[in-house]
Amino acid sequence: MKKLILILSLVITTTAIAQDAYSKGMQAAFSHWKGGNSTEASNIFERISAAELDNWLPYYYVAQINTIASFGEQDAEKLKLQLNKAQDFIALAGASSPNNPEIIVLQAMVHTAWIAFDGAAYGMTLSGKVAVLYAKALQLAPENPRVVFSKAEWDMGSAKYFGKDTSPYCSDVVRSLELFATFKPESKFHPTWGKERAEQVLAACN
């Protein structure tokens, strides 16, 4: 009995230490990211992912950092490296958490970054995929504010590209902000981004 208690105590202690290391690492990564050092943040998330193989969040943030950095990037080689890395980590995140709407939205963003870089080269092949991804994410999580807003912003961009009225999608942006107001992430490390961007888009609508 004493041996069993000792084993259980060791397991609990080891788990607590691992969780504490995970929390400290994630907090450090977010601190670097908030401070403008996205490269170091990505490196920390990547190291965490090597120790947290079944946790989709570190993979997700490596992919997100590299995706965000790709919008506006003019160097084709740098863009390719960033988006290929993002794609690799999205695949790892998806393997850990299949049919996750947050990951699906990020995949759509990767495709969008390629389109933004060269619409003539990637628009025809990737635009349809983006629309399908957002439709799938919305079906899985109609109350997720990032899903609702990201789809609305994509729809507005598509309408603008084809010279159509974008105002019908403003109500979707309003809806996303209503959802942001009540959305509760599963943990302090789960995605919460999007509200400020939604407010900017709504201001442009008005």
Mean pLDDT of 131-135: 98
Q: Give which of 122, 109, 111, 79 is closest to 191, Cα–Cα.
A: 109
- Residue 203's pLDDT is 96
Count of CB atoms situated within 10 Å of the CB of 134 = 22
Whether residue 13 has pLDDT greater than 50 = no
Domains of the chain: 1-106 (1.25.40.10)
Distance between CA atoms of 94 and 166, rounded to whole angstroms? 32
- Residue 4's pLDDT is 42
Helices (H), the chain: 2-34, 38-51, 56-70, 76-96, 101-117, 119-140, 145-161, 170-182, 195-205
Q: What is the pTM of this model?
A: 0.89
Distance between CA atoms of 194 and 191, rounded to whole angstroms? 9
- Gap between the terminal Cα atoms of the chain: 70
The residues near 52 (Cβ < 8 Å, ≥ 6 apart) are 22, 58
Distance between CA atoms of 169 and 134, rounded to whole angstroms? 14
Residue for token pair 């009225």: 165
Residue with the larger pLDDT of the pair 13 and 191:
191
Distance between CA atoms of 38 and 89, rounded to whole angstroms? 16
Q: What is the band of 1 on the pLDDT scale with cuts at 50, 70, 90?
A: low
DSSP state of 201: H
Whether residue 8 has pLDDT greater than 80 = no
